[in-house]
Structure 1
Amino acid sequence: MRPLPAEARLAEIQRYVTEMETERGFADNTVLEQSLKLGEEYGELCKAIRERSGLAIDPGSATGSVGGELADVLIYLCAIANRFDIDLDEALRDKERRNEARTWFPTTPEPAGTEHPVDFSRNSRAAAGASSAPEPTRNDN
């Protein structure tokens, strides 16, 4: 397997992942297997970010670097895209063309000292008089 070029585009990274999976014996893993591994790697990324941000983590567990965990997420993302024959570069550009037509509502930091008491109990919406039906979601895939 040849090394990945320093200035590789997404398509080159996807080809590299295909070669890497073949060489390492992962080419026959299913989309489900790779998706579950992606979830595991995302969890490891979150843990690394928690540690880097100074938040508490389990002291007995190992934590990778944020960069290393991001690389693992990218590898599994490419592996999944490859199984669906999706060119991530093309998919990203297509998605961004659609996103350019959307109206965005960025979040802004609240002033220091702003408090928003939140009840995270299971029935907090019902207790507050809200409908027990789930809130509608929006899927902009």
Structure 2
Amino acid sequence: MPDLKAQPTLADYQEYVSKLEAERVFEGNTLQQSALLLGEEIGELFKALRKAQKMSLDKKSVVGSVDEELADVLIYLCSIANRLGIDLEQAFRDKEEVNKKRIWETTQGD
């Protein structure tokens, strides 16, 4: 089992996920498979959020916790970035430079 540093950088998370996938025999997943798995995890996150907000759910439904589902989403984000050779930290920084130049407005219902 790979080890994750005590205070990891985003690059450390990406490296960890790469090792994790190799260990769990997921490194052969295609980009499409990883994207579909991310979509499933986002659905599970939404369900966990519904539970946390005390919204109605199917009583037979198995629902994880919000923190667990967020972690799963992060794993698949790293997986997809790794498959595409994207440095997530740099992508985040680049995107924030774009966002800083935008004008943000709050809209109230029409």
Same fold (TM over 0.5): yes
Residues 2 and 20 in structure 2, CA contact (< 8 A), matched pair in contact too: no
Correspondence for 1:90: 90
Q: Which amino acid aligns with 2:93?
A: R
1:2 deviation in Å? 3.4
**Kindly, what percent of the aligned residue pairs are identical?**
51
1:106 deviation in Å? 2.8
Cα RMSD for the two superposed structures: 1.4
**Cα deviations across residues 88-127 of structure 1 (Å, max 9, x unaligned)?**
000000000000000111356x7xxxxx8xxxxxxxxxxx
The secondary structure found in structure 1 opposite 2:91 is: helix
**Cα deviations across residues 13-47 of structure 1 (Å, max 9, x unaligned)?**
00000000001100010000000000000000000
Correspondence for 1:9: 9
Larger Rg: 1
Q: Which amino acid aligns with 2:26?
A: F
Give structure 2 stretches of 5+ with no counterpart. none
Give structure 1 stretches of 5+ with no counterpart. 111-115, 117-141
How high is the TM-score relative to the length of structure 1?
0.74
Correspondence for 2:21: 21
Change in 2 beyond 3 A, CA 1:107/1:52: farther
Higher normalized contact order (CA 8 Å, seq sep 6+, divided by chain length): 2
Q: Distance in 1 between matches of 2:24 and 2:30?
A: 15
Runs of 4+ in 1 over 4 A off after TM superposition: none
Correspondence for 1:44: 44
Q: Distance in 1 between matches of 2:95 and 2:6?
A: 25
Q: Distance in 1 between matches of 2:81 and 2:106?
A: 29
Greater helix content: 2
How high is the TM-score relative to the length of structure 2?
0.95
Q: How many residue pairs align between the two structures?
A: 110
